[in-house]
Amino acid sequence: MNGRRNSPISIGMVSIVLIFVLLSLLTFSVLSLVTVQADLRLSQKSAQHTTEYYQAENEANGVLLDLEALADALPELEGDRLAAEVARQWAGTVAVEAADGVLRYTVPIGTEQELQVELVPEDRDGNRFRIAAWRSVSRETWTQQSGGTLLDPEHPPV
């Protein structure tokens, strides 16, 4: 017989360490899964917004080209008169307005934003219009939320 015997304390300690390691691995794997799912949702939302933006930009460019073609058919007009006549003759799906010699139109970007375009009549490099503004803006109005006062002048901190 061999004089060595396994003590119950060393077997118990190994079991506790093994259980701790397994629980740690399980915890990290669950955290990794949650992070991956959040990243997937974020990237899908970002891809959808990017697609919507470029669709709106393509539509806005198409409107710009159509307005340029319409202005080319009116070579005798310039400035405010050109902007007003192009807006009057426009028959596209996007509403075009002329005010103060500037043509303005908006193209929706999804449900929460829109692409606003402003064109100024100006003959330059074969183009009848100069792009004065090309920006995406939110359709929703911002309302300030009251969060209370940070510092009460009647009761200063002690």
All structural domains of the chain with their residue ranges: 39-138
67 neighbors 86 (Cβ within 8 angstroms):
yes
Assess whether pLDDT exceeds 60 at residue 2.
Answer: no
When comparing pLDDT for 35 and 110, which is higher?
A: 35
The amino acid that residue 157 corresponds to is: P
In sequence order, the 6+-apart residues with CB closer than 8 A to the CB of 138 are: 112, 113
Tell me which H or E stretch contains 70: helix 8-72
Q: What is the pLDDT of residue 52?
A: 96
Assess whether pLDDT exceeds 80 at residue 25.
Answer: yes
Mean pLDDT of all residues in 107-122: 92
As a whole number, the mean pLDDT across the chain is: 87
